[in-house]
Amino acid sequence: MKLDPQIAGMIAELDSGFPPVHTMTGAQARAIIRSRLVVPDEPEPIAEILDELVPGPGGDIPVRIYRPAGDELPVLIYAHGGGFVFCDLDSHDGLCRSIANSTPAVVVSVGYRLAPEHPWPAAAEDVYTVADLAANGMFGGDRGRLVVGGDSAGGNLAAVTALMSRDRGGPELAAQLLIYPVIAADFTTESYRLFGHGYYNPKPAMQWYWDQYVPSPADRTHPYAGPLHADLRGLPPVVMVVAGHDPFRDEALAYASALRSAAVPVTLLQFDGGIHGFMSMPTLDIARDARRRVGVLLRSVLGSADG
Distance from chain centroid for Cα 183: 11
- Are the C-beta atoms of 214 and 225 separated by less than 8 Å? yes
Which of 155, 279, 199, 213 has its CA nearest to residue 26? 213
Residue 211 appears among annotated catalytic residues: no
What's the first-to-final CA gap in the chain, in angstroms?
Answer: 40
Give the DSSP H/E element, type plus range, for residue 20.
none
Q: Could you say which of 4, 132, 142, 246 is catalytic?
A: 246
Distance of alpha carbon 260 from alpha carbon 237, whole angstroms: 10
Residue 276 appears among annotated catalytic residues: yes
- Are the C-beta atoms of 82 and 91 separated by less than 8 Å? yes
Q: What angle do CA 165, 208, 194 make, to 5 degrees?
A: 95
Q: Could you say which of 152, 165, 191, 280 is catalytic?
A: 152
Which one-letter DSSP state was computed for residue 230? S
Question: Is residue 176 helix, strand or coil?
Answer: strand
Q: What is the DSSP string of 257-304?
A: HHHHHTT--EEEEEEEEEETTGGG-TTSHHHHHHHHHHHHHHHHHH--
User: How many residues are there in the chain?
Assistant: 307
Which of 205, 192, 210, 176 has its CA nearest to residue 251? 192
Give the DSSP H/E element, type plus range, for residue 73.
none
Q: Could you say which of 92, 118, 245, 276 is catalytic?
A: 276
Which of 198, 211, 52 has its CA nearest to residue 119? 211
Residue 152 appears among annotated catalytic residues: yes
E strands, 15-118, in order: 48-54, 61-67, 74-79, 106-110
Active-site positions read 152, 246, 276
